[in-house]
Amino acid sequence: MTSPVASIRDVAMRFGGILALDGVSFDIGPEQIVGLIGPNGAGKTTLFNCLSRLYTPTSGDILLHGRSLLGRPAYSIAALGIGRTFQNLALFPKLSVADNIKVGGHAEIAGDFISDALRLPRARAGARELDRRVGAIVDELELGALAQRLVGDLPFGTQKRVELARALATNPSLLLLDEPAAGLNHEEVDELGGVIRRIRDGRRISILLVEHHMGLVMSLSDHVVALNFGRKIAEGTPLKVQADEAVAAAYLGGTAQ
Amino acid sequence: MTIERTTALVFLICALAVPAMISGFVTFQLTMLLIYAIAIMGLNLLTGFNGQFSLGHSAFYAIGAYTAAILMDQFGIGYIWTLPAAGLVCFAVGFLFGFPALRLEGTYLALATFGLAVATPQILKLTPLEHWTGGVQGVFVMKPNAPFGLPLTSDQWLYYLTLAAFVLLYVLAKNLVTSRTGRALLAIRENPIAAQSMGINVSLYKTLTFGVSAAYTGIAGALGAIVIQFVAPDSFGFMLSVTFLVGVVVGGIAWLPGAIIGAAFILFVPNFAEDISKGLSGAVYGIIMILLIYVMPSGAGGIVSSALRVLRSR
Ligand SMILES: Nc1ncnc2c1ncn2[C@@H]1O[C@H](COP(=O)(O)OP(=O)(O)OP(=O)(O)O)[C@@H](O)[C@H]1O
Ligand SMILES: [Mg+2]
């Protein structure tokens, strides 16, 4: 078997009296879409925040390409290859669509206060390179007509697309999507499925997908991990996890522990 | 040519031509306007663009002014060289102050910077420092004459010097805010956690911005010392910080050209209020400010950007 892109190893995360994650382990393989499911409060977003170093796990380890992330500061994670979206949108509302996406490319180009203030050749070369990359992503996600609009003025569904575009601009090898389908209508969900698959196939990257929309997760994922109360209760192919009794019980609100 | 460029060109031509047509006193006032505009621009980089609140910029203005005055008075350094020196000293002080400020949000940061503003004039009066600062008396400096036998009065020369500093600092700031760095500053203001996850070293950018902002305001302070030929601790009280903040808001948050409008406001409106009523000048100034914020809540910058949007959408 090829070595995994990311390994979550026995990760626990405690907030005061709440054990939001309780010894979770799984791997994300190359070019895999891994679905992460579980009822509200299961710990999915907490795991995302551990992966992007916004939280430091109480115990356990997280490896990216075999190297531990835990000694790394949160701002270095994008450059290491993890891009993400946020469950409740975390855009920059007073910036344009294009600028929001460009911020995603921050670590991809060089620059500093002095070369930017003096418009040194390296700053200008970086700006051109970023324009090119962002232009391609804008086309890919069909945001061209909106590029100069302020993000705060756009409808929710469009904002979600901008956030996805911004995550892509970090040029990730692992993309974390936290409920990308939430708040979208039926048609938009179908379209999103196609977009996610195209992203994986076109860039040959891995995706960790948190989603409550079961149709979407099950149709997209190569592998599914189910959490409940911070514990992994099932893992395997979509078919296997769908048939799992503990998973069914968790979603029915039963105590499957 | 864009509207922005045309306006900048017209501004520059007028600014170059105007001293020949006005009195020495008005020239001096316009010089002060440009000096305040530099200070406001510095504060806007920090507060407007980066979202870090400061009530402490009078302290950086004071440190810049004293750096210039002491270098000239005690070390006989040429006044031109005191400008970069004041910028560097204030950059260092601002950068260092930026570290504890990292732990503070919103109102707490306002309070900490308020402390800086209150402490600085007192520290400048301390007896052990009196040898350099002149204590309560302050420091007098010589008024420089125009160099190279230029046919300019001293006031005119200082005006052109200040104009050159303003234009240079404006261009640098403009480049900065329209670049990768500028986007990072705005992203931090809008959502620091998302900014961090997009690869921005939030702490570094915030402290560096504190330094750059302080440097701008410090250079303004140094120019002020040269132009007024005098520094004294009590001219740099907390009210000066508030005045700069008024300039930022009136000119427009995160809109650089607003610095000129904001500076004109803080320089001329108090006089205007005094003309209306000597006894109630404070009340008149206050009411003008309230009306202004009511009529244009996002400052002159807000009005200009809506006007531009209307023009462009036609
Ligand atoms: N910063 C925090 N401080 C305290 N408790 C937290 C924090 N973040 C998460 N929790 C708690 O951890 C548990 C897991 O929350 P998390 O947001 O990870 O769930 P989730 O699986 O993403 O749920 P949802 O499907 O509703 O988004 C919850 O009980 C939540 O209240
Ligand atoms: Mg969640």
Give how far A77 is from chain B: nearest CA, Å: 7
Partner-chain residue, chosen from B176, B194, B202, that has the shortest CB–CB distance to A117: B176
In a domain, B6, yes or no: no
In a domain, B76, yes or no: yes
Query: Atom 3 of ligand 1 has which residue's CA nearest to it?
Result: A15
Question: Measured between beta carbons, which residues in chain A are less than 8 angstroms from residue B208?
Answer: 113
B11 inside domain: no
Q: Among all residues of chain A, which has the CA nearest to that of B169? A: A117
Q: Write out the DSSP string of A31-44.
A: T-EEEEE-STTSSH
What pLDDT, in 10s, does the model give residues A151-182?
A: 999 999 999 999 999 999 999 999 999 999 99
User: Is B268 contained in some domain?
Assistant: no
Strands A82-84 and A33-37: unpaired
Q: Which amino acid is at B108?
A: Y
Average pLDDT (B80-101) is 92
Q: Of ligand 1's atoms, which has the minimum distance to the CA of residue A46?
A: 18
| B159 belongs to a structural domain | yes
- CA-closest candidate to residue B172, choices A112, A119, A127: A119
The chain A residues in contact with chain B (CB within 8 A) are: 52, 54, 73-79, 84, 86, 90-95, 99, 102-104, 106-109, 111-113, 116-119, 123, 126-127, 130, 166, 170
Q: Is the CB of A25 under 6 A from ligand 1?
A: no
B137 touches chain A (CB under 8 A): no
User: What total number of domains does chain B contain?
Assistant: 1
Which residues form the domain of B160?
Answer: 28-141+149-236
Q: How far is CA B94 from CA B46, B61, B98, B172, in A?
A: 11, 11, 6, 18
Q: How many CB pairs under 8 A join A and B?
A: 98
Kindly identify which residue of chain A lies nearest to residue B177, measuring between CA atoms.
A117
The residue whose CA is least distant from atom 12 of ligand 1 is: A20
* Ligand 1 center–CA A3 separation, angstroms: 30
Taking an 8 Å cut-off on Cβ atoms, the answer to whether A170 and B184 are in contact is: no
Residue with tokens 């901008």: A162
Residues A216 and A224: beta-carbon distance below 8 Å: no
The pLDDT tens digits along chain A (257 residues) read: 578 999 999 999 999 999 999 999 999 999 999 999 999 999 999 999 999 999 999 999 999 999 999 999 999 999 999 999 999 999 999 999 999 999 999 999 988 999 999 999 999 999 999 999 999 999 999 999 999 999 999 999 999 999 999 999 999 999 999 999 998 889 999 999 999 999 999 999 999 999 999 999 999 999 999 999 999 999 999 999 998 889 888 887 654 44
- B291 within domain boundaries: no
Of B176, B196, B198, the CB nearest to A116: B176
Token representation of residue B38 = 């530099």
* pLDDT tens profile B108-163: 888 888 888 888 888 887 777 777 777 777 778 878 877 887 788 888 999 999 99
Interface contact A74-B175, CB threshold 8 A: no
Cβ atoms of B93 and B214 within 8 Å: the answer is yes
> Does the residue B273 lie in any domain?
no
- Please give the number of the atom of ligand 1 that sits closest to the Cα of A13: 12
If you measure from the C-alpha of residue A89 to the centroid of ligand 1, how many angstroms do you get, rounded to a whole number? Answer: 16
Could you please report the per-residue DSSP string of chain A? -PPPSEEEEEEEEEETTEEEEEEEEEEE-TT-EEEEE-STTSSHHHHHHHHTTSS--SEEEEEETTEE-TTS-GGGHHHHTEEE--TT----TTSBHHHHHHHHTGGGS---HHHHHTT-HHHHHHHHHHHHHHHHHHHHTT-GGGTTSBGGGS-HHHHHHHHHHHHHHT--SEEEEESTTTT--HHHHHHHHHHHHHHHHHHT-EEEEE-S-HHHHHHH-SEEEEEETTEEEEEE-HHHHHH-HHHHHHHTT----
Per the domain annotation, does B75 fall within a domain? Answer: yes
Q: How far is the CA of A92 from the centre of ligand 1 (A)?
A: 23
